[in-house]
């Protein structure tokens, strides 16, 4: 790996920094994560500034409203946005569905959905996991039976982020129950306003509502809403934009989180017993080193993509390390605050954030592929160990 920017990369980094300095509003309010954002004047100004440069979906080809960035350029953009604590827009529609439609969608599907993803007029959710099909996703049982020009969908999805606010869902369904489990699956675009869809909230330990159960009861979906070939949806569903998943923005965010906690620790040194202060200081030194490791793992993925290689187990190493580091940071914050760490209201140090982040970190090693799955990938594909 070459750790230094080339002259062209340095110029690009400076362009992004200048843009952020000139265009990032001081107060954006709530920015979309899973669902629909609050559209303040500052938010609309920010969206317009990003859209004008194709930076809402910067990695997409220019003909689809993106900026056609290379993996390294995208990585630099993500890094600088994270350093400035600037939000990127688009959510799951940009991160997952857009690239899938560009690769596999019909021209009509692209014309219908891509502009509305970029404008933020349509929000999306992902219908993959089921109560009995989590890590073994290919065992999914939600059925889609063809009836003329429609599929009739019945089944249940779970852990569906933002389903309560989504307009549409991209969903994996089983259209051939007799085929091997990785076949006989079709990728459907489903209007969440369709009759027969019901959404029930799942509130997590942090008392937050991101996840949902989604039930399909005789939901009719036009056959024209199938993306890619019928019965080959597994291969469509695994399409992702790899370099937007390098995690470099997460690594920067984790480092900033560590630095914020260190700042609090130094400011409150007189109030903390010397032994407790020293223990916290040493623990945060370890976390800071680990954030640098997370950055290097992310940069390794980017460097492979820049060389035309496809990261495999390397991406799993990064995901495993980053998700477990998030939990370490949350635990270290809680220990630093002692009994105050269990208080969630604004009277507590750090505004009660520590307790919320601690319980919120629990699913980090489950979402996006469990740590066990990542270790299996690393063992078999990275180390060449047998599957059994």
Token pair in block for residue 152: 């009739």
The label of the residue with tokens 């009861």 reads 217
Backbone angles phi, psi at 144, to 5 degrees: -130, 110
Nearest to 119 by CA among 25, 47, 61: 47
Residue 213 CB: number of other CB atoms within 10 A?
17
Which residues are CB-contacts of 27 (< 8 A; sequence separation ≥ 6)? 42
CA distances from 171 to 37, 163, 246, 305, 357 (A): 23, 12, 24, 28, 30
Q: What is the total residue count of the chain? A: 388
Token pair in block for residue 150: 């429609």
Nearest to 341 by CA among 326, 353, 327: 353
Q: Is residue 259 annotated as part of the catalytic site, yes or no?
A: no
CA distances from 67 to 11, 61, 90, 94, 168 (A): 16, 6, 14, 13, 25
Selecting among 32, 130, 244, 314, the annotated active-site residue is: 244
Count CA atoms within 13 Å of residue 146 on its CB side: 14
Residues catalogued as catalytic: 244
């Amino acid at each position: 790996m070459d750790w230094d920017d080339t002259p062209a990369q340095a110029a690009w980094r400076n362009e992004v920094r200048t843009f952020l300095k000139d265009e990032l509003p001081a107060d954006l309010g709530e920015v979309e994560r899973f669902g629909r954002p609050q559209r303040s004047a500052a938010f609309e100004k920010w969206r317009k500034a990003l859209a004008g440069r194709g930076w809402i979906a910067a990695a997409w080809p220019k003909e689809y409203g993106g900026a056609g960035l290379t993996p390294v350029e995208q990585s630099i953009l993500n890094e600088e946005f994270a350093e400035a604590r600037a939000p990127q827009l688009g959510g799951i529609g940009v991160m997952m569905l857009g690239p899938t439609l560009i690769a596999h969608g019909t021209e009509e599907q692209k014309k219908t959905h891509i502009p509305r993803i970029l404008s933020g007029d349509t929000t999306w959710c992902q219908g993959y996991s089921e109560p009995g099909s989590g890590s073994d996703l290919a065992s999914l049982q939600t059925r889609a039976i063809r009836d003329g020009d429609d599929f009739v969908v019945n089944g249940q999805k779970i852990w569906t982020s933002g389903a309560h606010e989504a307009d549409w869902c991209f969903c994996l369904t089983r259209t051939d129950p007799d085929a091997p489990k990785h076949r006989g699956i079709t990728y459907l675009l489903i209007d969440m306003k369709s009759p027969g869809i019901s959404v029930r909230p799942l509130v997590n330990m942090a008392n937050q509502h991101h996840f949902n159960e989604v039930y399909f009861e005789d939901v009719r979906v036009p056959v024209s809403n199938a993306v890619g070939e019928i019965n080959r949806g597994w291969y469509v569903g695994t399409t992702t934009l790899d370099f937007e998943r390098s995690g470099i923005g997460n690594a920067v965010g984790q480092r900033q989180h560590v630095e914020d906690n260190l700042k609090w620790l130094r400011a409150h040194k007189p109030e903390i017993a010397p032994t407790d202060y020293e223990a916290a200081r040493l623990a945060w030194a370890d976390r800071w080193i680990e954030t640098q490791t997370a950055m290097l793992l992310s940069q390794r993925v980017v460097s492979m993509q820049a060389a035309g290689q496809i990261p495999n187990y390397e991406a799993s190493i990064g995901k495993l390390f980053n998700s477990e580091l998030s939990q370490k940071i949350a635990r270290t914050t809680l220990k630093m605050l002692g009994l105050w760490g269990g208080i969630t209201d604004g009277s507590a140090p750090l505004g009660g954030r520590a307790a919320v982040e601690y319980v919120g970190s629990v699913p980090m090693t489950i979402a996006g592929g469990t740590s066990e799955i990542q270790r299996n990938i690393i063992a078999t594909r990275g180390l060449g160990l047998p599957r059994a």
